[in-house]
Amino acid sequence: MGGNFYTNVSYLNDVYKKEYEYWQEKMAGTVEKSCFFDGNKDAQGPESRMESIDYSLPGDYANRLVKISNHSDARLHVLLLAYTAILLMKHTGQTDIVLGTSIYRQQAEEEFINTILPIRITVTNEMSLVEVISQVKQIVSEAIEHQNYPIELILKNGNQDLDFLDVSVILENIQDPQYLARASSNLVLVFDRKLEELSARIHYNASLYHKEMVEVLMEHLLVLLENSINNPKAPLKELTILTKRDWEILTQINETAADFPEKATIPSLFEECVRTYPNHTAVVFEKEQLSYEQLNQKANQLAHYLRERGVTTESIVALLMPPSLEMLIGILAIGKAGGAYLPIDPDLPAHRMEYMLKDSQAAHILTQTSQELVSHFSGEVMFVDDNKLLLYPDTNLEPVHDPNHLAYIIYTSGTTGNPKGVMVEHRNVVRLFFHENNRFDFTCHDTWVLFHSFGFDFSVWEIFGALLHGGKLVVLPHLQKRDYRQLVQRLREEKVTIWNQTPSSFYQFIEEELKTPDKGLCLRYVIFGGEALLPAKLAAWYDKYPETKLINMYGITETTVHTTYKEVTSQQIQENKKLIGVPFSTVQLYVCNRQGETVPIGVVGEMWIGGEGVARGYLNKPELTKERFQLRQIGDRMERLYCSGDLGRYLPNGEVEYIGRRDKQVKIRGFRIELDEVRSHLLTMEAIQEAVVMAREIEEDTKILCAYVVMKEKKEDRFDPVEIRQYLQTRVADYMIPSFILQLESIPLTINGKVDNTQLRQMEFKQSGKHEFVQPNTDMEKKIAEVWSKVLRTDPIGIHSTIFDLGGTSFDVIKISKELTEQLGQEISVVTLFTYPTVSMLAKVLEAEVTVQKLQVDARLDSIEEGKRTRLQKLRLLKK
């Protein structure tokens, strides 16, 4: 009898029809895999490597369980299933639990139609142990009654695979472990009763679970038993699985309260620096610089003007400027006037700028006279370089704001296709730098670099880290940030001591800096943020600069830049663990399940952030603010916590290990990107019927964006990745444009109807389509095409083709990287080739870098000529 016999109901006899209908109803709807390592449900790890641990329950617990079951093995089996389901709920917060078990031992030695049963249990915190046991008893009884229907078809009817039963439980007295062989469970609890003793053999997939994790799991079961056996009617929310050691570590690690200047604001702290260090250099941009006194005076003049134009507390002023002295003057002036600055990078697409202005309801734009303005803005436009500002007083203004007023609004990626504005107050920023137990020793002698866009919250750390400590801030123009050779030289010339970087950027910086054997840098700190750090990549740097402190800081815009602190040591570099350290002073970090309950040490959960860094919420989005910023009971007090969406776990030493994202948000080169936002913009393109966007790893911890699209007209000549990229450039920031856009006939799905991410990840990077063949035109395009032709042995090369379109492999990418680096005399990394995959895209980036270098060379030549003229004039004077 084949599978079609069972699936075609018209051929089933009454018994099988009854069983078919039962399982159809039982497995209806979306059923999520239940596993203890939450966040790993879709993991496609290495092959299963099963190992075992033997465990005996302490006599008093075993005795009590056996007595409750009245020495009935069937009842004991129900108890064990119920406790495992509750334990899963406590670990993950999942309320719809599915466990695997087997049919009871059969007398006849024959091959049965079915030996495995899925037990689907509903467990909520409002239920009691008694209620869960009663429910499980009924479910097990019904499952055994309908046990003859094939397990493969049971799961297929529920759109699931066999490996869906991740956790299985059996009692060896009445069940045979061999019956579970086809279940492919990653964790199998095999219990055995001898009189009133209860032992267990735990089989676990060592590729997914560490031995220590499994041992701790049994500790949690004991705590649950201890708290529930004598209190079976109490709601489950009153029963914890945390051990005494868990409580001690979690309490101690979150004792981070620290005094900070609670009445201070950003302007008041800056003005204090002006009084203390009036002649210190505050800001440097290209050949211009301002002292603290000069910067303060210019900011005051602009602030008086802004105040006159109606800017006051809670006023939102959009700041539309490239990196410059004027940009910093604008930020300080808006704060002094009492308003909050809304940074808008001029490189953003007009569509995104217009949305931010409309959503924020900003009544003012502050910009430069040379800047192209956003269309459809009905508010007032003001210019930071207006000569009439010189007529305004340069004295400090009377403050009108307090620490609870808005300091800035930064827009971050959103799942709806539009960004959302995070509202940050002065006190959030003040406590970031000034508090008891500060681990940093920033001084007025430090030199910082404004490397990041002021629309990225890392810039808040860079700007105010320098200007609120009396230090010097070096502002880099956009193009200079791409040339790592120039960056290394600039950091040496300026004697930079504080260098803030996203890991992916710093890896490239390391490659360039290590080419110079001497120790030319003066860095005291390198501070990482924005994305996960791969410590092993810091080994060569650490060997050269062991005295430089390497600090890894996990953070979120909604919790004001930084949340945790971790000094990276040689040990972490060797172990290559993604540790993000301990909560920053004034911040609390809790790891919770989906019910918001704190999970034990070692258990993966979602990170919830509390403390003084938590922002006010999302601008003009009260429902989203309510959803993500919640009041939660922590111990004996209520705290306002931000739900980060990031997964992590506490280690026994109190440090946090970063695991990844729960949702479809990724970080690429430090930028936070909602995959659904990119997808939603793709779907607004008339020719696209369906789209999926995902991040693909090209090197360890190095990701690129890939888009998979289904066209409405599925002819190949209707697909043009160049046209799609050009469309996206009008709607999203450059870092959100996929490096590869691949056409599919249809989106591949798993058996349960979800997007098959595994199949997508295995697809080759190959872009075809109707884009016409365009020969290389510029010198740079010709040089790149020549190298591609040499390595790939293909001719001719079009400027819109990718390496993979031309039959290349990942190995060819490495060879092309080395060849281009040698031919052009500038570092062209593998990451760069993936990020700018066509000849045209790569040429534009490299041409921009060459332009920067030429401008800098010209500037140096001008300086030399000026020097020669000066010396000649001096000689003439001497002769006279």
The DSSP code sequence of 57-111 is: --HHHHHHHHHHTTT-HHHHHHHHHHHHHHHHHHHH--SEEEEEEEPPP-SS-S-
Out of 169-178, 678-687, 718-727, 769-778, which region has the weakest mean confidence (pLDDT)?
769-778
> What angle is formed at CA 74 by the lines to CA 70 and CA 75, rounded to 5 degrees?
45
CA proximity to 92, closest of 33, 37, 165, 30? 37
Contacts within 8 Å (CB) and 24+ apart, 568-577: 568/528, 568/533, 568/535, 568/538, 570/542, 572/535, 573/535, 573/536, 573/538, 573/539, 573/542, 574/536, 574/539, 575/535, 576/534, 576/535, 576/536, 577/535, 577/657
Q: How far apart are the C-alpha atoms of 429 and 613, rounded to whole Å?
A: 7
Superfamily of domain 772-880: ACP-like (1.10.1200.10)
Instruction: Answer yes or no: are the C-beta atoms of 499 and 526 closer than 8 Å.
Output: yes
**Confidence class for position 6, pLDDT limits 50, 70, 90:** very low
Angstrom distance (rounded) from CA 232 to CA 247: 23
Which residues on adjacent β-strands are paired with residue 343? Answer: 319
Is the pLDDT score of 862 beyond 60? no
Spatial separation of the C-alpha atoms in residues 479 and 848, rounded to whole Å: 7
Instruction: Work out the average pLDDT over 97-126.
Output: 86
Please report, in angstroms and rounded to a whole number, the separation of the first and last CA atoms in the chain. 116
- Note the pLDDT of residue 771: 57
d(C-alpha 765, C-alpha 755), whole Å: 18
Indicate the pairing of strand 579-583 with strand 281-285.
unpaired
Torsion from C-alpha of 845, 848, 852, 855, nearest 10 degrees: 160
pLDDT category, 482, cuts 50, 70, 90? Answer: confident
pLDDT digits (tens, 9 = 90+) for 128-150: 999 999 999 999 999 999 998 88
**β partners of residue 648:** 605, 658
Residue 692 pairs in a beta bridge with 708
Q: How confident is the model at residue 751 (pLDDT cuts 50, 70, 90)?
A: very low
The four Cα atoms 852, 856, 859, 865 give a dihedral, to 10 degrees, of -140
- How does DSSP assign 710-758, residue by residue? EESS--GGG--HHHHHHHHHTTS-GGGS-SEEEE-SS--B-TTSSB-HH
CB of 377 within 8 A of CB of 361? no
SS3 (DSSP) at 567: strand
Locate CATH 1.10.1200.10 in the chain. 772-880
313, two tokens: 């507390």
d(CA 733, CA 375) in angstroms, rounded, equals 18
User: What pLDDT sits at residue 767?
Assistant: 59
For the domain made up of 3-240, give the CATH fold: Chloramphenicol Acetyltransferase (3.30.559)
Q: Among all chains, which residue has been given the structure tokens 């995902």?
A: 694
Say if strands 629-634 and 549-552 run parallel, antiparallel, or are unpaired. Answer: unpaired
As a whole number of angstroms, the distance between CA 112 and CA 621 comes to: 58
H helices of 647-715, where? 675-682
Give the lowest-confidence range in 104-108, 581-585, 623-627, 644-648: 104-108
Chain centroid to Cα 445, Å, comes to: 34
pLDDT of residue 877: 43
Angle, to 10 degrees, between the axis of helix 779-792 and the axis of helix 810-824?
140
65 pLDDT exceeds 70? yes
- Report the alpha-carbon distance of residue 100 to residue 118 in Å, rounded: 5
Span 56-85, average pLDDT? 92
pLDDT at 1 over 50: no
Rounded to two decimals, the pTM is: 0.77
Q: List Cβ neighbours of 625 (8 Å cut-off, separation of 6 or more).
A: 617, 618
Tens-digit pLDDT profile for residues 309-346: 999 999 999 999 999 999 999 999 999 999 999 999 99
Query: Would you tell me how many other CB atoms lie within 10 Å of the CB of residue 195?
Result: 9
* Residues 508-551 pLDDT 10s: 788 889 988 899 999 999 999 887 788 888 999 999 999 999 99
459 pLDDT above the threshold of 60:
yes
| Position 24 pLDDT exceeds 50 | yes
- Tell me what percent of the residues of the chain surpass a pLDDT of 70: 87
CATH 3.30.559.30 residue window(s) in the chain? 3-240
Give the other-Cβ count within 10 Å of 605's Cβ: 26
Greater model confidence, 693 or 305: 305
How many Å apart are CA 217 and CA 241, to the nearest integer?
10
SS3 sequence of 304-333: HHHHHCCCCCCCEEEEECCCCHHHHHHHHH
Domain with CATH 3.30.300.30 in the chain: 665-761
- Whether the per-residue pLDDT at 461 is higher than 90: the answer is yes
pLDDT per residue as tens digits for the range 244-280: 999 999 999 999 999 999 999 999 999 999 999 999 9
The phi and psi torsions of 778 (rounded to 5 degrees) equal -80, 165
Q: From residue 113, give the alpha-carbon distance in Å to each of 59, 107, 110, 624.
A: 39, 15, 10, 50
Q: What are phi and psi of 740, to 5 degrees?
A: -130, 135
- Sign of the dihedral defined by the CA atoms of residues 169, 175, 176, 179, in that order: negative
Question: Is the CATH number 3.30.300.30 carried by domain 665-761?
Answer: yes
